[in-house]
Chains A and B, each alone.
Chain A
Amino acid sequence: MTPLPVQVERSTRASRISAVVFGVVLVALATLPFWGGPGDMRLVAEMSYFLALAQLWNLLAGYAGLVSVGQQAFVGLGAYTFFYLTGSWDMHPYWALAIAGPAVALISVPVALVVFRLRGAYFAVGTWVVSEAIMLGVTQVKALGAGSGMSLTPAIVRQIAPDRATREMIIYWITLALVVLVFVGVYALLRSRHGLALTAIRDSEPASASLGVDTFRTKLVTYVVAALFTGFVGAVIFLSKIRLSPEAGFSINDWTVVVIFMVVIGGIGTLEGPIIGMLVYFALRELLYQWGTWYLILLGLVAVIVMLRFQDGIWGGIAKRFDLHLFSVRRHLMR
């Protein structure tokens, strides 16, 4: 049988160019402490961890079809694990950080086994209920500070670095490293066989099941991996905030509503979408925040309109128009 005169390739010219561009941006951001101010670092850190959360939510909802409105549970749990380990167990912050992710991943397994009994929109509300239950549960535990929460003592924080400037730099780099790790991790996952299985499940669960894809395990693995990284992000977020309370740690408005907005506006089901969505959100925030609640109403309105008219989001529209993919997760047939 003569071989086809085509080749299967993973990258396109656009993706190779964008890889270079992103590399340059990354170097610029990594060196930010040396050419920017502390305000800049804080802003980029915030953009980074939101981007991480957005990529993870997109992995769940856009690729695995798991629309979770309860990821804030893992943010809070990651933060609480970190605060508890450093506070009550006197663990070094770096160790506590490293453990936060896996601890949350472990908790996410029984959570998944419960919520996976629900489907579709009911799954979404179910994850929300579980998150509320976890928050209420944490509020009852004295060792976790009950209703008033916990704080990081100066002693704990100084273990990272004795002076504030160095500390801010280190935490900034940790945040940056984390978002790069999340991005690379999600990208690698999607390019793997696991990712192919996910796309198949997203397109048609019964069909992929009939082809031998273990849909339950694939979704479970995706959910746990997302929880793992969300836990890391939660720990890092509150490491820089120093103060943690149940409402803040498990806030659906802070960690889920905004994240969903970013992914939907940017383009769900694409890797580029969350980046665009995050940038749009921060741009809008800079422009409009003095309008208070009107700004939030506008966000809600934009989300509604995008979902009604432009379901693919900003990037989805661009990608379709120009067949442009910066992060290739597909395989292309080239002559």
Chain B
Amino acid sequence: MTLLRTRGLRAFYGDFQALFDIDVTVDEGETVAIIGANGAGKTTFLRAVVGVLHGRPEMVEFDGKPIGNLTAHEIVRMGIAMVPEGRRLFPSLTVEENLCIGAYCDRPGPWSLERVYELFPVLKERAQMPATSLSGGQQQMAAVGRALMSNPRLLLCDELSLGLAPVVIRDIYARLATIAHEGTTLVIVEQDINRALDASARFYCFQEGRVALTAATNGFDRHAITAAYFGT
């Protein structure tokens, strides 16, 4: 069942067009990766889906409903959550408060503070500390946990591995697998191609604001991906 569909999605920053006619489909329960070089439009795509960028209503469809022109806070209430690029935890809040604010819209579901602490025990240890006192990897876990607290049907992850050590990245992606296993649909945006492809069933490769390539990850030729990534 299709959970997310974009049709001819366009996005602009002022006069600059960042996305050209993007058609992407994500089925419920799937993990889909979006890869591409810097500036390819991956983050712009996520921002358009979650409502930070607005377009025409029919450009983005969630669970059959057009959401292209809604604002972010309305879309989050419908069940899409984003782990933003760079974590963006709230400096004035403690770790626990950051998690709790994720539950602001009070959506019912399996995720609660206890379950997030089960998934990321290190967060429980540091619950009352300022969020900014965590290490990079721990902050990333907190950001993911915060997004989970809204019990999203669709979780968008923007560059989870940015600035993190390989060991930490492996740890986080292991938890992602658990999250996916629970039934959450995931869209993972990554520059780390291998990590993204290992975690996903299908992928899209963006290049200069367009979809250059899309296929199932299983057994796909990595050379073809490199060509699409760089546009050669």
A and B touch in the complex (CB under 8 A): no
**Residues in B lying within 8 Å of A, measured CB to CB:** none
